[in-house]
Structure 1
Amino acid sequence: MRKYLITCLALSFIVNMFAEDSLVFMKEFDKQKQIVLAKANGKNQTLVTSGENWHLYPDLSSDGQNIAYMQSTGEYGFAILSTNLQSKSVRKWNKNSGTHFHPRYSRNMRYLAFSQSQDYKNQIAIVDLLKAQNKGLWTTNSDNVMQYKGSYEVVKDRASCYFPHLSSDASFLVYHRTKSDDGREVVFYDRAKKSKTVIAQGMAPSVSFDDRWIAYTAKQGEHWNVWVYDRIEGKRFRVTEHGHNDYAPSFRADNSLFFASDRSGSLQIYTVANWQAKNPKAELFVSADNATFYAPRFSGNAVYKHETFEPFPAPSRSSFGSTVHNGYIYVAGGHQGKEHTYPPESFSNQVHRYNIEKKTWEEVARRNHKCHGFTLSSHGKYVYAFGGFTYSPDYTPKWTSLDVIERYDTEKNVWEIVGRMPRKRSSNVAVKVQNKVYLIGGWDSTPKFEHDYDGKFHREIDIFDLESETCYEADVLAPLPLRRAFTAVAHDNKIYLIGGLSIGTLEFNFLDKVTEFDIESGLFKDMPPLPFATFAPAAEVIGDDLFVFGGMFEVGYFFEYEYACSIYKYNFNSRSWKNTGRFLTESKGFSQVVKHDEKLFILGGHSYHYNDNGLFLPDGIPNTFRKKSKEAQATNDRNNPVRTTEIFSIQK
């Protein structure tokens, strides 16, 4: 099910007990089986568990705050526990007896999956960690361990299943299934379609932080080697080829691989950084003469943390304008209807503002035009709205773009028209640098003839002077390819254009281009491209770091795509991109981001898999630009507006 959402979670970037990402793994020594926490380089190792109990197969949440693991008094009867590293509180997640295996968090920290003993076989159980926050779902036993008594989502299979690993947004799951001939196969389970696909013969799968790669081990002759499956291309890569055994692979946020291997005589942890090279080399990473190590797992960058704020008010909508001004966040207009469907009632002119200090929302005067796909800026006591995409009965299709410039007086609570842009424009960016707003990209959607869906993409750049309230065309043109549905930020008197859609031979092309616009010289320069081609991401800058949130990407099928929940960071000094290993609560695009007091508030967006309460909806399918199949059309019909209760903020 595809849903619009308005999100109000806060992601604050602060220094906590870890620097950067962390690592957990199993350590066996002196007849003990314990969990070790270490820095990402394998140094500064600390035992998290102790005593005579067995502690196996740990996983570390993306924020580095929680460790899930198996615990038992011996070889059987394992329970699934988690420990919060700050409060030291312990939770038990399985409700029934038996042997339970292999806990793993989704990287948006919304779900915990494990192999649950059930009806004489093991099946994959998934716990919704948001629902699990309900205190009524917990009891405390005599050992001061909190016992979960809520429900699970169970992935039923014909055979026993182990090593579950959810994707970043929990929209899909991989695990290994035992076979009647004592073999194992890796299964890809789509939670939206509720479909299973065998992708390889092997075991112990693990998903990369960017959700593209699935690592697993497969037996070749007498030995187990590491393989990787590319879920976009549908291809398999053999990573290790050695006369020993390599087990339990996993990824770090930079896509480097880690696994346990007996190639040095006992199980130690190895890494392959360049596993896509022709002859990748495995290097020893964690070792000791008197111990064995197994099952390495990494967190994301633990410098970042979440906060929650007040819900975004109804109705749900996406593609709205936003700005921050004098302690308020303003949200205006937006699209309230089904995706790619634009009846008159889908266009909004509602305006809300959020008092950051008091943490309250209020509705203010409505804009004069019902529209979406427009931008806001602010100056003095005013908030300005530029253009937009709106309904029009005069064309087929029934839409047009606007050239109007409207001004909201924050003292008088009234909107008025103060001018016109040189051209109709929507789906563009408006970037404020000093006292000028640069209107770049986008299109005039107004049909040039009947059934014209292509509109006219703009190369002209218009400038609005906030002092004189005049709008004029700049002396320079935007470089090719022309784009819309992209984002932009300002940094050091330069504007950076990020991602977007361009005109292509198959309706649209996704862009990975990042373009620098020097407003003083009028020159454009290509920057290092995005890690993946995307449109409709959100972005903003803190210090010398540019953060890009979410967006949409193609998944290798004809006109099919998914939303991402990733958070990437670009450093202007090193000119390099990094996956932070941290994630939005939902996979989404068309979010808006505003900056206040070195915090980034990421507002709303559009998601296929989450509803207004932030809950996963397991009945959607990947979206298509061209709704041809009955299945795709039926899902589009279920694409109703929703709202969630999260804003994301970032602070240093």
Structure 2
Amino acid sequence: MIFPKILRLDKAILATGIMAVLTASAVGTAEPQLPALPQAVSSFGATVCDGYLYVYGGHAGKTHSYDTRSVLGSFHRLKLSAPERWEELPGGPIAQGLNLVSHKGKVYRVGGMQPRNAPGEAADNHSLAEAARFDPVKRQWEELPPLPAGRSSHDVVVARDLLVVVGGWQLRGRSHMPLWHESTLVADLKEQPWKWQAIPQPFRRRALAAAAIGQKVYVVGGLSPDGPEPRLDILDLARRQWSRGPDLPGKERAAFAPAACVLNGQLIVATNEGVLYRLLPEGKEWEKVGQASRKRQVARLLPWDEHAVLLLGGAGGGQNHDSLEIIPIPPRPEPTPEAR
């Protein structure tokens, strides 16, 4: 019989087993074993496009130590239906502090930080203005209209057909102070060629995270000239107006370099303390919905399926990480109104 055996099990083991069963039931099957990233990396770009997970660039060296060897320009993808190995693709300029987005079968990258000093030399970091689009069929990058100025430590999202670049700063080399960006940039991907339009921001922040639901862009966390900022700012692209949402829970420093994505029409944010929060449908408060197995900052968060998110890469404990973690998210009946 099963029950007498269960009763003799240690309580901790039993609890773990029950949680495993519940998790498997929620997602319908056991989660696959995902291969590690090609290299332990933080502050990189990641997106999902037509069944593939793409990763680009990032920082693979010691914390706050940047040079032409520790920052990457490599580009890889992983087929999610058969996640056995990473496929190397044509790369590009070395860059960190950037992100990737996808739109209609293409992958986009915008900006990033590029060191120009060799290892052992004084830091000489520059923010890039370039934008490019990758065609998976042709396996080629195409240059796009550049940003008005270099930008890094920003985030980029697609809201319907609009490419949105928010936050960040401009690094101008060892001889100049950085400039904090005070405008969000928007380009209509239906236009050829497109033009960047600026929308003033009610903040100056970098190392933030952004996600789009409908025509609204949610910008959360990050670092201002005065320190970590747990605030949530919301840009209504239809009206070109900003509003405030609830601050992230927890300590202010936990809001530095978070990761964000949208799952089932709801905003999910992972802080550098490893806690995952969901913005409630009314948009007035957060609820805790998960806990990562390790703390990470400057990581990436992507939807895995309807029941889970994927947290990958990042830095923590004095080192970069190459692991990918699937984190179950409990269901909630109603999505954020803008996603309907």
TM range (shorter): 0.7 to 0.9
**TM-score, normalization: structure 1?**
0.45
Q: What does residue 549 of structure 1 align with?
A: 270
Q: Give yes or no for contact 1:487–1:497 (8 Å, CA) kept in 2.
A: yes
**TM-score, normalization: structure 2?**
0.83
TM-superposition CA deviations, 1:127-179 (whole Å, max 9, x none): xxxxxxxxxxxxxxxxxxxxxxxxxxxxxxxxxxxxxxxxxxxxxxxxxxxxx
Q: Evaluate the alpha carbon distance shift between residue 330 and residue 515 of structure 1 in structure 2; reply closer, same or farther with a 3 A threshold.
A: same
Q: Give yes or no for contact 2:270–2:277 (8 Å, CA) kept in 1.
A: yes
Matched, 1:347 2:65: no
Q: Evaluate the alpha carbon distance shift between residue 479 and residue 87 of structure 1 in structure 2; reply closer, same or farther with a 3 A threshold.
A: closer
Q: Give yes or no for contact 2:279–2:285 (8 Å, CA) kept in 1.
A: yes
Q: What does residue 335 of structure 2 align with?
A: none
SS in 2 for 1:438: strand
Following superposition, the deviation at residue 368 of structure 1 comes to 2.1
Q: What does residue 522 of structure 1 align with?
A: 240
Following superposition, the deviation at residue 503 of structure 1 comes to 0.3
TM-superposition CA deviations, 1:531-588 (whole Å, max 9, x none): 032111111222353221132xxxxxxxxxxxx11122221226221223x3101111
TM-superposition CA deviations, 1:465-521 (whole Å, max 9, x none): 3233545343520112x10001011113111110000002xxxx1111001111111
Higher strand share: 1
Q: Evaluate the alpha carbon distance shift between residue 401 and residue 575 of structure 1 in structure 2; reply closer, same or farther with a 3 A threshold.
A: same
Q: What does residue 132 of structure 2 align with?
A: 406
Q: Give yes or no for contact 2:127–2:172 (8 Å, CA) kept in 1.
A: yes
Following superposition, the deviation at residue 324 of structure 1 comes to 0.9
Q: Evaluate the alpha carbon distance shift between residue 575 and residue 404 of structure 1 in structure 2; reply closer, same or farther with a 3 A threshold.
A: same
- Find the partner of 1:643 among 305, 322, 325: 322
Q: What does residue 442 of structure 1 align with?
A: 168
Q: Evaluate the alpha carbon distance shift between residue 569 and residue 392 of structure 1 in structure 2; reply closer, same or farther with a 3 A threshold.
A: same
SS in 2 for 1:84: helix
Question: Rg bigger for which structure?
Answer: 1
SS in 2 for 1:427: coil
TM-superposition CA deviations, 1:19-76 (whole Å, max 9, x none): xxxxxxxxxxxxxxxxxxxxxxxxxxxxx987xx9x99x66xxxxx843xxxxxxxxx
Alpha-carbon distance in 2 for matches of 1:588, 1:66: 29
Aligned partner letter, 1:571: L
Q: What does residue 467 of structure 1 align with?
A: 190
Following superposition, the deviation at residue 640 of structure 1 comes to 5.4
Q: RMSD over aligned Cα, in angstroms? A: 3.3
Aligned partner letter, 1:520: A
Q: What does residue 499 of structure 1 align with?
A: 221
Percent sequence identity is 26
Q: Give yes or no for contact 1:420–1:471 (8 Å, CA) kept in 2.
A: no
Q: What does residue 201 of structure 2 align with?
A: 478
Alpha-carbon distance in 2 for matches of 1:303, 1:589: 27
Any residues of structure 2 matched to 1:164-175 within 5 Å, and which? none
Matched, 1:583 2:291: yes
Indicate the structure whose relative CO is greater, using CA pairs within 8 Å and at least 6 residues apart. Answer: 1
Q: What does residue 56 of structure 2 align with?
A: 332
Q: Give yes or no for contact 2:100–2:109 (8 Å, CA) kept in 1.
A: yes
Q: Give yes or no for contact 2:310–2:325 (8 Å, CA) kept in 1.
A: no
Q: Give yes or no for contact 1:312–1:646 (8 Å, CA) kept in 2.
A: no
Q: Give yes or no for contact 1:321–1:374 (8 Å, CA) kept in 2.
A: yes
Q: Evaluate the alpha carbon distance shift between residue 435 and residue 574 of structure 1 in structure 2; reply closer, same or farther with a 3 A threshold.
A: closer
SS in 2 for 1:420: coil
Q: What does residue 278 of structure 2 align with?
A: 569
Q: Give yes or no for contact 2:43–2:299 (8 Å, CA) kept in 1.
A: yes
Aligned partner letter, 1:460: S
Aligned length: 320
Q: Evaluate the alpha carbon distance shift between residue 349 and residue 49 of structure 1 in structure 2; reply closer, same or farther with a 3 A threshold.
A: closer
Alpha-carbon distance in 2 for matches of 1:536, 1:377: 18
Q: Give yes or no for contact 1:319–1:605 (8 Å, CA) kept in 2.
A: yes
Any residues of structure 2 matched to 1:41-52 within 5 Å, and which? none
Any residues of structure 2 matched to 1:140-155 within 5 Å, and which? none
Matched, 1:592 2:300: yes
TM-superposition CA deviations, 1:268-308 (whole Å, max 9, x none): xxxxxxxxxxxxxxxxxxxxxxxxxxxxxxxx9x9799834
Any residues of structure 2 matched to 1:110-509 within 5 Å, and which? 307-393=31-117, 397-447=123-173, 450=175, 452=176, 455-480=178-203, 482-504=204-226, 509=227
Q: What does residue 43 of structure 1 align with?
A: none
Q: Evaluate the alpha carbon distance shift between residue 644 and residue 544 of structure 1 in structure 2; reply closer, same or farther with a 3 A threshold.
A: closer
Higher helix share: 2
